[in-house]
Amino acid sequence: MQKITKIGIIGKSNKKEAIESALKLAKWLADKGIEVLIDEKLMLKEQKGYSFSPSQDIPSRVQMIVVLGGDGTLLSVARLVGNSGVPVLGVNLGSLGFLTEIALPELFPAIEKVLNGDFRIEKRMSLVAKVIREGKDIGEYLVLNDVVINKGALARIIDLETYIDENYLTTYKADGLIISTPTGSTAYCLSAGGPIVYPTLSSVILIPICPHTLTNRPLILPPEVTIKVILKSEREEVFITLDGQWGFNLLINDIVEIKRAERTLRLIKSPHRSYFEVLRTKLKWGGR
């Protein structure tokens, strides 16, 4: 990778610590001669050495992005990065995250290593979800964690007719269905009884939520498959949720088509800890 001279900073705009950290980081980078572009939502005072931009424009103008927040903030940045290939460094302002592995006190030593070329990048696969209604595409969405189809609070179990590469799999009678990446295996997938899959593997995880048939178990599929789910419940309230951050109602016979995205998200790895240490810390393994 070429020498880094342009860095973007995107943070959780409603968190004071993110704003303060962005200012300190911007000054520190500017003093080193790095051109800095900051998300305008952080509303800092523009000074010599850095400038502001709408967050959606930052990936095309920088060589890497520092995300100040938590896993949710990084998920939103992953959508902005899209197919640009810009590497992302996630800094967690609270406890460690699965995606934001670097704690705030480790920020400057980690950035120093990156600037010196001493860093490692992990490639994480994403999914593209397309919703088709009456033969027309009504939306296409990039997700890093998961696509979830589930019933409303007062609805009965729903029927989800599911195909893998046009081959009929089954009609799930369940509270819903999760289609997850390995990165998302420690999110809703884990809560629903799915497996933890090492995040750099290429696979798709299919998990029914509270299935009526107890033999409906999680299924791990190769990354090349196309998954098609057709809603067959007419009078139930059903939603599609994408990365747990946005979504909308589905109607009977709506088709959700999910396949692997063309590009991967490039995450800069923490130099301080392994994925297994993050698992032990977050899931409290070994505790009594």
Give, as one character, the DSSP assignment of residue 222.
Answer: -
pTM listed for this prediction: 0.92
Q: What is the pLDDT of residue 42?
A: 87
Q: Residues of the chain with pLDDT > 70: what percent? A: 98
Those residues whose C-beta lies under 8 Å from the C-beta of residue 135, and which sit 6 or more positions away, are none
Architecture category of domain 6-124+264-283 in CATH: 3-Layer(aba) Sandwich (3.40)
DSSP annotation of 149:
E
Sheet harboring 219-221: ordered strands across?
Answer: 219-221, 204-209, 176-180, 146-151, 238-242, 246-250
Q: How far is CA 179 from CA 53, 160, 204, in A?
A: 34, 13, 7
- The first and second tokens of residue 146, run together, are 């998961």
31 is catalytic: no
Q: Could you give the count of Cα atoms lying within 13 Å of 78 in the half-sphere of its Cβ?
A: 32
CB-neighbour burial class of residue 209 (10 A; exposed 0-12, middle 13-18, buried 19+): buried
pLDDT above 80 for 81: yes
Picking from 77, 62, 39, 8, the residue whose alpha carbon sits closest to that of residue 245 is 77
The mean pLDDT value of the chain amounts to 92
The fourth-level CATH superfamily of domain 127-260 is Probable inorganic polyphosphate/atp-NAD kinase; domain 2 (2.60.200.30)
Q: 31, 39, 71, 243: which one is catalytic?
A: 71
pLDDT above 70: residue 184: yes
pLDDT (tens digit, 9 = 90+) per residue, 101-146?
Answer: 898 899 999 999 999 988 999 999 999 999 999 999 999 999 999 9
Assign 288 a pLDDT band (cuts: 50, 70, 90).
Answer: low
Rounded CA Rg of the chain? 20
In the chain, how long is the greatest CA-to-CA distance? 63
CA atoms of 214 and 16, how far apart (whole Å): 47
Q: In whole angstroms, give the CA distance from residue 146 to residue 246.
A: 12
More confident residue, 286 or 265: 265
Q: Where are the domains of the chain?
A: 6-124+264-283, 127-260
Better pLDDT: 287 or 255? 255
Residue 46: pLDDT above 70?
A: no
